Amino acid sequence: MNDFNPNRKEYDPRMHSAEHILNQTMIRMFNCGRAFSAHIEKKKSKCDYRFDRDLTPDEIASIEKTVNDIIGLDLPIKESFLSRTEAAKRVTLTKLPEDAGDTIRVVTIGDYDACPCSGPHALSTREIGTFKIASTAFENAVLRIRFKLEGI
């Protein structure tokens, strides 16, 4: 599950929204699934993916471009509350804790991404700013992507 705390001083809903877009971009580009671990902070955040190597400079540039293109579309970021059965038809529920209950909050970013989530988000992608990958690292079959937001 994501490591975020909305009461933490540095927590930023824009960064959390950017994380959702990054996750969907990684799924579409590399079919690697969503991050299995994430730490979301206002200044810099990170996502860890099961992967087989580090990213090339061209891949980093392509990820940044794709994420920023989605941000530039000014997509609405919405929440809906679905029964567990209905949510399971639309999104993967494998990361939910057993005690998550029968009503699942699903956050959607336009028609680009949808996933269960309990954290706050921006209202639209235009609020996010410019996405920038600060660094990547690969160790023990884990790709770590550190990123930040600029321009806001």
pLDDT (average), residues 84-103: 90
pLDDT (average), residues 88-93: 93
Burial 109-138 (b: 16+ CB within 10 A, else e): bbebbbbbbebebbebbeebbebbbeebee
Position 90 pLDDT exceeds 80: yes
Position 22 pLDDT exceeds 70: yes
Which H or E element spans position 47? strand 45-50
Give all domains of the chain, ordered by start, each with its CATH number.
2-150 (3.30.980.10)
- How does residue 128 score in pLDDT terms, banded at 50, 70 and 90? very high
Position 8 pLDDT exceeds 70: no
Concatenating the DSSP letter of every residue in 124-152 gives: BGGGT-EEEEEEEEEETTEEEEEEEEE--
pLDDT (average), residues 39-65: 97
**In 10 A of CB 141, how many CB atoms?**
10
- How does residue 10 score in pLDDT terms, banded at 50, 70 and 90? low
How far apart, in whole angstroms, are the C-alpha atoms of residue 59 and residue 139? 18
Please report the pLDDT score of residue 1 as a whole number. 40
Please report the pLDDT score of residue 116 as a whole number. 95
Position 2 pLDDT exceeds 60: no
Position 148 pLDDT exceeds 70: yes
User: pTM here?
Assistant: 0.91
**Percent of the chain beyond pLDDT 90?**
84
